[in-house]
Amino acid sequence: MRAVLVIARGDLVRRVRNRSALITAVVAPLALSVVFSLVVGGPGGSARFDIGVVAGAGGLSGEIATGLLEADATPVRFVRIDSSTTAARRVDDGELDAALVIPAGIEEAVGGGAVTLEVLRNPDQVVSGGIAESVATDIAQRLDRVARVLSVTGEAGARVDGSTMAAAMELESAVAVVAGRSAGRDLTPAAFFGASMSMLFLFFTVGFASESVLVERRQGTLDRLLSTPTSAATVLAGKAVSVGVLGLVGFCVVWGVTTLGFGARWGRWPGVLAVIVATTVAVAGVATFAASLARTEQQTQTVTAAVAFTLALLGGNFVGPGQSPELLGTLSRLTPNGWALGAFADLATDTATGAGTLRAAAVLVGFGVALGAVGAARIHRVVQR
């Protein structure tokens, strides 16, 4: 064990000195997560948003719903839903991006009562949820204006002058918009992309470590290491510890900086830490396996990049959970990226359960251990000639 730590420490010192660790583990993921957050404004990017509308068939709510359903509001498409229960289920299942519930007695607001428009949204769906809320707010404002004026004039069709409007504005609002899912919070872009980019660059951190085995063999330091009372397995274990430390530190620095500097909410720290550790294990395993397929330093870089970007695309690192087409959404569950990002999103939106987080962590560790063991065995054969 002592030799493992000696090798890990030496590896870390060298990587910090030549700045490669700082760049791949901290600077690059941090910079890209900030850039993505600023450019995209939130994890999203689907070309179309399906927003459900729950409303009665007749009356004012029915008229409003009909108006929305007939509106050409590309990229937003409104879909009539029978009940708020059905709408909530379809939002949860990801079939709808959000839903707007217009109560049947909305005329009461015009008659002096108070009504509430409810927006059902999935906390993961920042953009579509925001669109649904905007629509609801617009409807609410229009209704509210009419209700206030009628309250002052007492009749429809009366002349409205400045003093009437001023009096109307003094009244309390008759129509309110509420979020239909108080349990969840919005997923902050910096939190999602912080995790996403840290994960992506972790592949390169691991790839560099695997490549370093080949570099050390070329430079002769590997032979010198193996000429000491140190086994090939110990050398590899030392490098694995070094990668693990770098991955964890990088992740945690991005976590801290996005939280303190950009207001990101990653969720409860024990869960976040558990998923970070599990993600590090998963990526280390996958990247080790990928690197083991290479025979040269150049091949290691190429294979690592190909695997990192393929898994990132499949897993939703660039678009966010729930934003991918259905097929990709399904495929993402076959990747460690999909599991990790799903777990991070649940934690960040306060919708995670302990069991769910543990299950995701277990799957991630399983990915890492299974593929890492195969990869390490392959690299061991190369080292132990």
Which C-beta is closer to another protein: that of 190 or that of 226? 226
Which C-beta is closer to another protein: that of 221 or that of 330? 221
The 175-179 sheet, strands edge to edge: 76-81, 49-54, 98-101, 115-121, 175-179
CB 15, min distance to another protein, A: 9
CB 382, min distance to another protein, A: 13
> What does the alpha-carbon distance between residue 358 and residue 360 come to, in Å, rounded to a whole number?
5
Q: How many CB atoms lie within 10 A of CB 77?
A: 14
CB 381, min distance to another protein, A: 11
Report the site for another protein in 2-41 (rule: CB under 8 A).
Answer: 2-3, 6-7, 10, 13-14, 17-18
> What does the alpha-carbon distance between residue 192 and residue 43 come to, in Å, rounded to a whole number?
7
* CB of 321 closer than 8 Å to CB of 339: no
Specify the long-range contacts of residues 231-236, CB closer than 8 Å, at least 24 apart.
Answer: 231/384, 232/380, 232/383, 232/384, 233/380, 234/3, 234/4, 234/7, 235/7, 235/383, 236/376, 236/379, 236/380, 236/383
Letters for 222-251 (x = contact with another protein by CB under 8 A, - = none) are -xxxxxxxxxx-------------------
Q: Which stretch binds another protein (CB under 8 A): 24-32, 199-207, 220-228, 302-310?
A: 220-228
* CB of 279 closer than 8 Å to CB of 336: yes
List of residues 6+ apart from 160 with CB closer than 8 A: 149, 153
Letters for 151-170 (x = contact with another protein by CB under 8 A, - = none) are --------------------
Q: Which stretch binds another protein (CB under 8 A): 145-153, 158-166, 221-229, 326-334?
A: 221-229
Which C-beta is closer to another protein: that of 96 or that of 214? 214
CB 253, min distance to another protein, A: 22
Using CB under 8 A, pick the residue from 85, 134, 221, 296 that binds another protein. Answer: 221
- Residue given tokens 């590309």 in the structure block: 74
Which C-beta is closer to another protein: that of 180 or that of 238? 238
* Pairing mode of beta strands 76-81, 98-101: unpaired
Decide if residue 353 touches another protein (CB under 8 A).
no
> Up-side HSE of residue 320: CA atoms within 13 Å toward CB?
30
CB 20, min distance to another protein, A: 10
Q: Find the largest Cα–Cα distance for the chain.
A: 98
Q: What tokens does 121 get?
A: 């949204």
Decide if residue 220 touches another protein (CB under 8 A).
yes
Decide if residue 215 touches another protein (CB under 8 A).
no
CB 33, min distance to another protein, A: 28
Which C-beta is closer to another protein: that of 68 or that of 232? 232
Helix (H) or strand (E) holding 117: strand 115-121
* CB of 278 closer than 8 Å to CB of 365: yes
Residue 50 C-alpha from the chain's centroid: 20
Which C-beta is closer to another protein: that of 6 or that of 273? 6
CB 26, min distance to another protein, A: 18
Which C-beta is closer to another protein: that of 21 or that of 65? 21
CB 240, min distance to another protein, A: 17
Q: What tokens does 111 get?
A: 């008659």
Tell me the DSSP string of 146-164. HHHHHHHHSSTT----HHH
Using CB under 8 A, pick the residue from 219, 302, 330, 353 that binds another protein. Answer: 219
Which letter does DSSP use for residue 25 in this model? Answer: I
Q: Which stretch binds another protein (CB under 8 A): 195-203, 215-223, 273-281, 325-333?
A: 215-223
* Pairing mode of beta strands 49-54, 76-81: parallel
Which C-beta is closer to another protein: that of 140 or that of 376? 376
Which C-beta is closer to another protein: that of 141 or that of 384? 384
Which C-beta is closer to another protein: that of 85 or that of 219? 219
Query: Residue count at the site for another protein (CB under 8 A)?
Result: 24
Binding site residues, another protein, CB under 8 A: 2-3, 6-7, 10, 13-14, 17-18, 219-221, 223-232, 384-385
